[in-house]
Amino acid sequence: MYRFKAIIFDVDGTLADTERDGHRLAFNAAFAEAGLAWHWDVARYGALLAITGGKERIRYYIEQEGIRLDSAVNLDAFIAALHSAKTRHYLALLETGAIPLRPGVLRLLREAREAGIRLAIATTTTPENVIELLRHCGEPGLPDWFEVIAAGDVVPRKKPAPDIFTLALAQLGLVAQDCVAVEDSDNGMCAALAAGLKALLVTLNAYTENQSFDAAPLVVESLGGPDAAAVVRRGDLGGSNYVDLAALDRLHATVYSGA
C-alpha cells in the first residue's frame, strides 16, 4: 500500500524531549558528583548541542573554557568516567517515567506497526539510553517494536556524518529509497540526507526551532493528531491534518518522483 518500507527515527528531541530536563540535568548531576564547579544552564546546553555526542560535548567544553586538569589525569579516561556517571543519572531519571514520548509519536508508531512498516532507530545516544526511554514511556514492550536500534559508538563518525544511518540501513537490509527518516536537528538532517534519505521529516523542538532546515522537504512543529493539527513550517502534508503514514507516503512520493 505504501511506497516506503521502514521509518528510521532519531531519539533525543525526536521521539521525546530528552535534552533540557533529561540529559542536561544528568550532566550537571555527574559534574556535581565529581566535585566539579561546572553547570550547564539551558542556554549553554543549547549551544553545546551543536556538538554531537556526550563525550564529545564534554571534551569541547573543556577545550573552549580553557579548563586545565591535573597533569596526572588521563583526559580520555576522565571524560569517559564523567559520561558514564551522566548515563547512570540519566537512566535513573528515565526510570521515574518523567520523560514521555512527544505528542503524536506513539500514534504514528502504532499506525506503522499495524501497517507492517518496519521501525528502526539511528542515534548517537547510548543503546542503554534508548532502551530505558522506550521501556518507561508508558507502552509495554515498546523496545521490541524496533527491528534495528543503531546507537552509540558503533560507527566511527557521529552526526552530521551519515554513518549511523548507513549502519541502520545495512541492518535493515534496505536502501535509502525504501525508507523515511525522522529527525529534529540540523546535524541529524545533514546525516540523513548524506545517507541518501531524501524522504526526511523534521520535527522541531525548543532547541532546534530556529535552526535552518532549507534542505529538508518537510518540517513540522510536532506530529500532531486527530485533536491537534500539525503546524507545518516547510512542505505540506498532502491533505492530512497531522503526520500519519499517508502524509509520509506523500513525502516519499514527492522527493522520489517529483510529484
Q: Give catalytic residue positions.
A: 10, 12
Q: Are 204 and 219 in contact (CB under 8 A)?
A: yes
Do residues 119 and 9 make contact, with C-beta atoms less than 8 angstroms apart? yes
244 phi and psi, to 5 degrees?
-125, -175
Burial 57-86 (b: 16+ CB within 10 A, else e): bbbebbeeeeeeeeeeeeeeebbeebbebb
Residue 158 cell numbers, joined: 557521529
183 neighbors 202 (Cβ within 8 angstroms): yes
**Crossing angle for the helix pair 163-172 and 186-194, to the nearest 10 degrees:** 50
| Spatial separation of the C-alpha atoms in residues 6 and 243, rounded to whole Å | 15
